[in-house]
Chain A
Amino acid sequence: MPAHSVTSQPDLLESGAFIDRLRAADDQAFTHLVTTLTPHLLAVARRITQSDSDAEDAVQGALLSAFRALGEFDGRSSLRTWIHRMVVNAALSLLRKRNTQRAVSIEQLQPEFADGFHKSHPKLWQTIPTDDDARTRQVEALWRALGELPQEFQDVILLRDVGGMDSKAVATALGVSDALVRQRLHRARQALVKLLEPVMTEVRS
């Protein structure tokens, strides 16, 4: 099921009448909401948690929270965005509980310069392999590297690069500015380059 399939019926879920039906505990409306959104939300949560069971817990927990909190939904964002944000936060929260790895300082993982020039000469990596085994090894290395970053840097990579959300949506989900998302994203990406260096194959000149 493509992740964007929830946008195929854009109007019904966002109409005031539909939200009123949800608030009135209309079973048909809630069935429609859950059936329409769950596949997409599950894909989002699975990208973040890397675990089918954690993803299911995140989606179920977030939809139940949304159902309980419908009275607080003020319509400032769309219903989809509101629920999507709840799922993202539930998934990140589950991941935090699972991930007990000790984070390194992001500063230690940035490129180093002397008088504005690189201190060492970066070696060009080969392109990401299409061979399944080699690709899987690199993907596993990426997950390990990601686990070493401080949480706020993991979050932006998970949402933007792994999850494919745009920066504005990441900022909304995390409740921070677009500029801060870009800054964290950049430092996190640079840190990942450094952490992945030992496992990536160099292009021989």
Chain B
Amino acid sequence: MSQRQGEAAMQCEECMALLTDYLEGTLTAQKRLALENHLRLCPDCGPHNSNFLKTIALARAAGEAAAERSALPATDALIESILKACRDIQP
């Protein structure tokens, strides 16, 4: 199997350390390619990366569930309450 320069050197430990930088888009092109290549081929890092992404997705789902809980009447009441409290003080 032919490997471009820089790709052959990546081991699991480095790959696992770079997952967030990869997702945040802060890796160099060479590192990104080496990491993608490693993830494709490694029988351990591939599944771990998939689990890592599922963990992030679960956190997002947790946030969406919290934000979507309907509280619109409470929002109006809260606005009234804040405005009343603000009128009682001076900046």
Total number of B residues with any Cβ neighbor in A under 8 Å: 48
Tell me the minimal C-beta distance from B73 to chain A in angstroms.
11
Known interface pairs A34-B79, A200-B54; A42-B71 also in contact (CB < 8 Å): yes
Q: How many A-B residue pairs have CB under 8 A?
A: 148
Instruction: Give the docked Cα–Cα distance between A91 and B56 (Å).
Output: 21
Residues of chain A contacted by B12 (CB below 8 angstroms): 113, 116-118
Q: Which of A67, A142, A190 contacts B58 (CB 8 A)?
A: A142
Q: Taking chain A's interface residues, is the majority helix, strand, or loop, or is none over half, making it mixed?
A: helix
Q: Which of B26, B44, B75 contacts A118 (CB 8 A)?
A: B44
Tell me the minimal C-beta distance from B41 to chain A in angstroms.
13
Asked if B86 contacts A142 (CB within 8 A), the reply is no
Q: Which of A123, A135, A163 contacts B63 (CB 8 A)?
A: A163
Size band of the interface chain A makes with B: 35 or more
Residues of chain B contacted by A117 (CB below 8 angstroms): 11-13, 44
Asked if B52 contacts A161 (CB within 8 A), the reply is no
Residues of chain A contacted by B21 (CB below 8 angstroms): 182, 186
Tell me the minimal C-beta distance from B19 to chain A in angstroms.
7
